[in-house]
Amino acid sequence: MTTNKYATLRGTIARAKRNDCHKVVMRVTLVEELLLQLSNAEKQIAELATENAWLKQFPDQIVGFIGKLGSSEIGSETKEKIEAAAKKIKTPATDDFQAEVITNAIKSALNDCSECLDRDCIMDSNGISYEDAALREAGAMALHDALLRQERAV
């Protein structure tokens, strides 16, 4: 999933490395590191989401199991208490944390790549050619666009 989402950026990175643009390669290496961190964060979030989904299904499973038992087997009062307790199991802290992690990762990555979106600034601040700045700008733009799409999806 992540590999396909960032294919354009990875292509730009590969072109910059082939052209042996030292300053661009250094900056691109930083972008690669950010991309790796984002990919790792996405994996961790997916794992959290899987656990969270199981936690959210658990109360329904308990209620379903209890519903199949007769009241004489466990007592109607016990059955009602278990059903009420199961319905109260929520994961708002996990949900909030997950949303916060995603939002912060995206905002951080957007901030880190924003300085690379202006070709003239790239040329001036790094003393590189127009062509090298264009490569860097294209990579930053691809990353920026991918991050904005991800931010909208959250």
Give domain status of residue 14, yes or no: yes
**How far, in Å, CA of 109 to CA of 114, rounded?**
9
Residue 48 domain-assigned (yes or no): yes
How much is the pLDDT for 21? 62
CA-based max dimension of the chain: 83
* 127 within domain boundaries: yes
Look at residue 2 in the predicted model and tell me its pLDDT: 47
- Each residue's pLDDT tens digit, 49-106: 778 777 777 777 777 777 777 666 667 777 777 777 776 777 777 777 778 878 888 8
Q: How many domains are there within the chain?
A: 1
Q: Provide the domain limits for residue 146.
A: 2-52+92-153
**Residue % of the chain over a pLDDT of 90:** 0
- The answer to whether position 44 is within a domain reads yes
Least confident stretch, 3-7, 34-38, 64-68, 138-142: 3-7
Give the C-alpha separation, 122 to 24, whole Å: 10
What pLDDT, on a 0 to 100 scale, did the predictor assign at position 88? 73
What pLDDT is recorded for position 151?
Answer: 80
Q: Work out the mean pLDDT of the chain and round it to a whole number.
A: 76
User: What pLDDT was estimated at residue 20?
Assistant: 62
Let me know if residue 80 belongs to a domain. Answer: no
Mean pLDDT score, 26-49: 80
Instruction: Give the pLDDT confidence score for residue 35 in this predicted structure.
Output: 83
Calculate mean pLDDT across residues 129-153.
Answer: 85
> What separation, in Å, do the N-terminal and C-terminal C-alpha atoms of the chain show?
16
- Helix, strand or coil, per DSSP, at residue 129: coil
pLDDT at 136: 84
Q: Per the domain annotation, does 96 fall within a domain?
A: yes
In a domain, 13, yes or no: yes
In a domain, 18, yes or no: yes
Q: Could you tell me which residues come within 8 angstroms of residue 101 by beta carbon, excluding any fewer than 6 positions away?
A: 41, 45
